Structure 1
Amino acid sequence: MTAPDLDPPSAQPARTTRFARLRAATDRVPTRWFAGIGTAVFLAATAAFGGLQAVAVSEVPRLSAGEQHVNERVALTVQRAVLLDTFPEAGATADPEQGERVLALLIDAENRWDRAEMVLADGGVASTVGVEALESAAPTSVARYDDASRNPWLQPLVPVSLVFTWVVPGELFADGEEIEVVLSDQTLSTGSFVVDGDYWSDPRPAAVVTVAIEDRGDGS
């Protein structure tokens, strides 16, 4: 099944326009910004699906933006990092009076499991993506890149481009600054008592992607 678009039809043109601007802007990011260095960090997960495990820095592979990380659950490719004044069309509204802005990551994803998954569900795919500077806080929102539908379902073996967004302090990031995106692997478990059925748990940092931020202001 495909997640419905929960916004009223009248909001669709605005979302489409903003996403079109973001696509045009990110297409111009210089490839020389893509570096392969980073620092391993911890990735938070819900208490119901287990705790965190430390991974030595030397054990975590480094990837450049545009390089794919693949595990049994999902394939992820971090493509771009963009800083915007606000991005309500993607579900992230910043308050300028509070000095807030929005960090957006463009990530290509492919569900490699045998069933559809919601990105932002407990223990969902979003729990495997973290930003070190944000102490791996959960994203404010995740939306499809093509139609701006929020918290979409990922169908098995169907590639999709996603926009992960965080509302952040305005002074935290700057144009051209490199950030480290941590991608974690999880273990497939089968519940027999408190949790029923199969679920992914025990996230462990498995790759670090370094990507440079492009400050696009209002997205124009």
Structure 2
Amino acid sequence: MNKAIGYVADLWHREPPADERAIARVESELDVVFPVDYREFLLWSNGGQAQVGSAYFSFWRVWDIVDRNISASIKKYMSPLFVGIGTNGGGECYALDYSDDISSPNFVIVPLGDLDHASKFVIASSLAGVFEKSLNGDFSDADYNDNEIGPLTEEMLNIRRKNIMYEAENYWQKKEYSKFIALLSKSELDLTDLMRKKIDMAKKKIKQNN
């Protein structure tokens, strides 16, 4: 089994697997090649989320990656060699950073409100390394929640809200109520009354299903 998958197999809220053609199409659009263990992870679960040790991971589905990078202005403010692949459910983005080596990207985390290479933190050179560090407590996404926000604060916070609400609505439509609640609880957004009611409804539906 892929080492990264082995670390999180019992923790991860899986999505249906991606297929090779979808992955290849996105790689072509981005003009990069995904690392082997991340590619294999997508073939096991196309996105998904979990609390893995001291860090929370919410990975985007492969066909959402291009649009999410555009909507969050990641390519604009970082570079074409920097590809966001998910978030920590809040204001930080997990990304593949190809800027040092196009054939071997690093897995990094960077605040969406301060998209700058000076603000990124290199976690590991592989997805397995990322999960290993979070399980061992050597990496925690909480360390980056209090980063000073740059001049693009309001714009980036609005993008963050839109991305989270888009993801939450997808979970609601798919009746994945546990994921819906987990995402919104982690986000620390100011929720509307309607969204609070939806969370209450989701909790009731989970109880009914149990």
Tell me the TM-score normalised to structure 1 length. 0.23
Higher RCO (Cα < 8 Å, 6 or more apart) = 1
**Which one has the bigger strand percentage?**
1
**Which one has the bigger helix percentage?**
2
Tell me the TM-score normalised to structure 2 length. 0.24
